Amino acid sequence: MNHFKNKMLSVIRGEETSGLLFVPRLDIWYNYNTAHNTLPEGYENLSLSEVASKLGLGFHSVVPDFIHSAPVESIYHRALGFYNNPDFPYSVDFSSVDFDVTQSDDELKVIYHTGHGDLTTRCSYGEELFNSGNSIPEVIEHAVKSKKDYTALAEILSNVRIQPTPDNYKKYNERIGNAGIAVAFTSLACGPMQHIMRDLVKYEDFCLDLYDDPLLFDCCIEPLTGLYNQIIESVLLTNAGVVLFGANYDETITWPPFFDEYIAPWLNKAYIKIHSAGKFLLTHTDGENEGLLPSYENCRFDIADSVCPAPMTKLSLQEYRDFFGKRTTIWGGIPSNIMLKDCYSFKDFKEFVRNVIDSCKPYDHLILSIADTTPPDADFDRILYLAEECEKTIRR
């Protein structure tokens, strides 16, 4: 565990590597099995980092656990697409916004008061959420329910402030140490339009509004642009080596023309700023990406996180490797469905793993992980097998 961080950075830099690194995301698997007292024997009383250490794995620390790692106040504004967390390089200040919060057994309800009327949001929060293993609450009621709500939302966003907190990130980085890379969080949305799409309005309503009158969004884009610029500037003040910006791209959800117009420019903007500070840009490419490959050619990022290949999506891992080549590191490569007994036999699973290990040499620009995450009911023997087989490549 003492050298995973440096080994991962070497892989990202494209330096010669001694073997295939396995750094899987285990948090949802761990949270679910902890809640249900079903962790494997010998792992029952271990923390997540201790589980990774016992397995001989690098510690995956990319997407924060928004629910378990901070007080409930940190997710009051989750339905507006903003979070606070003690590990973040910035905090989001809503002190100039007038709002009321109600917490029940299964949800958080926030009513925002504006000069253009009230906006109400609701997100899941309670035992059902905790027991599910999920690390982020689901939005039950979006802020925007009608076209007039965009104006009220713009007023709220105009009163939000970003405060850099480099010392918070420093403590987080020190806690992770050399067990893995403490990836600095900026945003799960890659710029204002994806922010509106994924958090502020129901997806189907967003698509209709975009088709009917794209100027509707302008009043929100202006303040969001300022906030995103401040967020990116905040992470530049830290000693982070890798920065997460943007997530959840898919050829249907973030279709290519939308991606090209609204997401790619922000990726390129973030890439230039982050690289100028000597850091690497990671973005979370966990969807169906075949139709987005031409779009990826027109934007830059250093790490394609949570790449999920065939048989769960259309592209094989080798096709991803051929496409990204030496310019982008793949962190992913194991589709989550092959970890399930009901989906794949152990024989077929072993054959898939063997093919990955044999076909992906040399292992530069590849950190193996389970994409998008290790399922709660993943076969633990398969996790062990992956860990053991990757360890063998390092010993050879």
pLDDT digits (tens, 9 = 90+) for 36-74: 999 999 999 999 999 999 999 999 999 988 988 889 999
Nearest Cα residue to 360 out of 307, 313, 321: 321
- At residue 32, the pLDDT reads 96
- At residue 17, the pLDDT reads 84
Distances (CA, A) of 341 to 35, 149, 335, 337, 347: 21, 47, 13, 9, 11
**Nearest-angstrom CA–CA distance, 167 and 211:** 43
pLDDT above 60: residue 6: yes
Q: Is residue 213 part of a domain?
A: no
Instruction: With beta carbons less than 8 A apart as the criterion, state whether 142 and 132 touch.
Output: no
Q: What's the rounded mean pLDDT across residues 192-220?
A: 97
pLDDT above 80: residue 100: yes
**Nearest-angstrom CA–CA distance, 356 and 360:** 6
Q: Which range of residues forms the domain containing residue 54? A: 4-61+240-395
pLDDT in tens, 126-139: 999 999 999 999 99
- At residue 112, the pLDDT reads 98
- At residue 68, the pLDDT reads 86
The per-residue DSSP string of 204-264 comes to HHHHHHHHH-GGGGHHHHHHHHHHHHHHHHHHHTS--SEEEEEE---TTTT-HHHIIIIIH
Q: Is residue 349 part of a domain?
A: yes
Q: What is the number of domains present in the chain?
A: 1
pLDDT above 70: residue 396: no
- At residue 212, the pLDDT reads 95
**Own/partner pairs, 124-131, CB within 8 angstroms, 24+ separation:** 125/67, 125/72, 125/75, 129/67, 130/31, 130/35, 130/67, 131/32, 131/35, 131/36
pLDDT class of 2 with cuts at 50, 70, 90: low
For residue 222, give every residue at least 6 positions away whose Cβ sits within 8 Å of its Cβ, in sequence order, or none: 154
- At residue 18, the pLDDT reads 82
- At residue 395, the pLDDT reads 66
- At residue 394, the pLDDT reads 84
Q: What is the mean pLDDT of the chain?
A: 96
For residue 332, give every residue at least 6 positions away whose Cβ sits within 8 Å of its Cβ, in sequence order, or none: 286, 304, 305, 306, 307, 308, 309, 368, 369, 370, 371
Q: Is residue 179 part of a domain?
A: no
Q: Is residue 292 part of a domain?
A: yes
**Nearest-angstrom CA–CA distance, 92 and 32:** 29
Relative orientation angle of helices 346-359 and 317-324, to the nearest 10 degrees: 20
C-alpha angle 66-9-372 in degrees, rounded to nearest 5: 40
Q: Is residue 208 part of a domain?
A: no
For the chain, percent of residues with pLDDT exceeding 90: 95
Tokens encoding 179: 């067990």
pLDDT in tens, 213-222: 999 999 999 9
pLDDT in tens, 271-296: 999 999 999 999 999 999 999 999 99
- At residue 69, the pLDDT reads 85
Specify the length of the chain in residues.
396
Please state the φ and ψ torsions of residue 366, each to the nearest 5 degrees.
Answer: -145, 120
Tokens encoding 150: 């965009």
Cis peptide before 362 (omega within 30 of 0): yes
Q: Is residue 159 part of a domain?
A: no
Q: Is residue 279 part of a domain?
A: yes
pLDDT above 70: residue 1: no
- At residue 387, the pLDDT reads 97
- At residue 16, the pLDDT reads 82
pLDDT class of 83 with cuts at 50, 70, 90: very high
CA atoms within 13 A on the CB side of 377: 6
- At residue 40, the pLDDT reads 97
- At residue 55, the pLDDT reads 96
Nearest Cα residue to 234 out of 279, 204, 194: 279
Q: What's the rounded mean pLDDT across residues 344-372?
A: 95
- DSSP secondary structure code for residue 137 in this structure: P
Q: Is residue 185 part of a domain?
A: no
- At residue 296, the pLDDT reads 97
Nearest Cα residue to 182 out of 50, 64, 26: 64
- At residue 347, the pLDDT reads 97
Is the overall model pTM greater than 0.85, yes or no? yes
Instruction: With beta carbons less than 8 A apart as the criterion, state whether 69 and 86 touch.
Output: yes
Distances (CA, A) of 359 to 20, 114, 321: 12, 58, 10
Tokens encoding 323: 């496409």
C-alpha angle 81-85-87 in degrees, rounded to nearest 5: 130
